Chain A
Amino acid sequence: MSDRNVLHSELSENAVVVVPLRDVGSLAEEHVRSELDAVLTQVQESGAKNVVVDFAHLPYFGTAMLEVMLVLWRSVRTDAGKLAVCNASEMEREVLRISAFDSLWPMCGTREEAIETLKQ
């Protein structure tokens, strides 16, 4: 586990699992950007093909988090990688549904399920 305080990340099988710990919408963008850069570096250096965003520690988010997810998704998409979401609360599922991103990223119940889904 990383020691970052907004976007923790860890390597699990063929995916980097990103765990948002705080709502990024109300944080200084340079802080978020610096943690996002660290995640992108980990994705690149680990050779992981996919990204899982695990919302186990965040009850809700807005478009700032969607923007972070778009950056992550674009970073793996160039190598045919995918992004999946897991442990999203009802509220988070609602945000993804309203914003139509649920059609881009599979929503899974658990981290294991998400990693398994991305293998297919």
Chain B
Amino acid sequence: MTAILVVDDSAVDRHLVGGLLERDTALRVDYATDGADALRKMGAAVPDLVVTDLMMPEMDGLQLVSAVRSKFPYVPVILTTSQGNEEIAVQALQQGAASYVPKHALARRLLDTVHRVLAVSCRERSYLRLWNCISVAEYALELDNDSSLIGPLVTYLQEHVSRMGLCDETDRMRVGVALEEALTNAMYHGNLQVGSELREDDDRAYCALVEARRNQVPYKERRIHVRARLSRDEAVFVVRDEGTGFDPSGLPDPTDPANLERVSGRGILLMRTFMDEVSFRGMGNEVVLTKRRPGGLNLVANGR
């Protein structure tokens, strides 16, 4: 049986919605009188889906959507709205509600909407269960010097680090910043051999040189090699460029007041701060970044 929690402060509306849902005998319906009551009931037994009214005392539908997103991220919420509340419904969708049905169209649209949302949610849960079965994931990529690939790659790796339960939202952003620094260093300073000093002196000349070298041998033939190994305990990223390398100890100390107006060295400082371990290998053209799962963090368990 699929469990649906119907939330509405009006007993009449509550039972109208419940009655429509019970036309499908595969659905089991439970009721709550407002958002706070709904969260109490969800604490005792997590439903497969919530159908809630928008306007309620104590905790309204909008607040309930936020609370469910935060505490039960895999339980979809459908809102029912009276006429004139369309703007708030859009706000609720932006905050994570799965769908909304105007009250005047409940008889016509509610059951279809519930089935559609359940189908999507079922796929997502299966996908999450699959993720829970992955113990180690390894990736190997070879990129040319196209900066537009950096964003999608960082997002892809961030997503997988999160899915493996290795970090919370804040650490996900930290991993993103560190990876972006490593990849941009490999591209601009490694493969294209354009130094930050030029940027500090003349940003336009820096951009022009980057563009020119993208089409010049040997720079244009160089690739960035990325390897990532994600386990339940740690993520290890190796980023290697084909440039001539550099001596990391020769970088200016960005915390020295004399270097305050320079960006040089700050990327590596951010990497070192946001990852648990950063080391350079070879001639300085390979960086290894490690992020370990903080003790007690088990985000994947939320996938039910």
Q: Complex: how many Å from CA A63 to CA B181?
A: 7
A60 and B263 form a contact (CB under 8 A): no
Name the interface size band of chain A: 20 to 34
Q: Which of A2-33 contact B (CB under 8 A)?
A: 23, 25-30, 33
Q: At the interface, yes or no: A1 with Cβ under 8 Å from chain B? A: no
**Chain B residue total in the interface (Cβ 8 A):** 32
Chain A minimum-CB-distance residue to B154: A26
What residues of chain A lie closer than 8 Å to B261, measured between beta carbons?
Answer: 70, 104
Stretch at the interface among B133-141, B267-275, B290-298: B267-275
Q: Complex: how many Å from CA A59 to CA B176?
A: 11
Taking a contact as CB atoms closer than 8 A, the residue among B199, B211, B266 that contacts A99 in the complex is B266
Distance in angstroms from A113 CB to nearest chain B CB is 24
A67 and B147 form a contact (CB under 8 A): no
What residues of chain A lie closer than 8 Å to B150, measured between beta carbons?
Answer: 25-26
Tell whether A60 pairs with B269 under 8 Å between CB atoms, given A28-B148, A30-B211, A70-B263. Answer: no
Count of A-B contacts judged by CB separation below 8 Å: 81
Taking a contact as CB atoms closer than 8 A, the residue among B147, B170, B203, B263 that contacts A28 in the complex is B147
A103 and B270 form a contact (CB under 8 A): no
Q: At the interface, yes or no: A38 with Cβ under 8 Å from chain B? A: no
Chain B minimum-CB-distance residue to A104: B260
Q: Which of B184-223 contact A (CB under 8 A)?
A: 184, 199-200, 203-204, 206-207, 210-211
Q: At the interface, yes or no: A79 with Cβ under 8 Å from chain B? A: no
What residues of chain B lie closer than 8 Å to A99, measured between beta carbons?
Answer: 254, 263, 266, 269-270
List 7 other contacts, CB 8 Å, given A62-B177, A63-B267, A98-B269.
A28-B148, A30-B211, A33-B204, A60-B177, A91-B170, A100-B254, A101-B260
A-B CB contact pairs (8 Å), 6 listed: A30-B207, A64-B180, A67-B199, A90-B170, A91-B174, A98-B273
Contact residues of A with B, CB < 8 Å?
Answer: 23, 25-30, 33, 36, 59-64, 66-67, 70-71, 90-91, 95, 98-101, 103-104
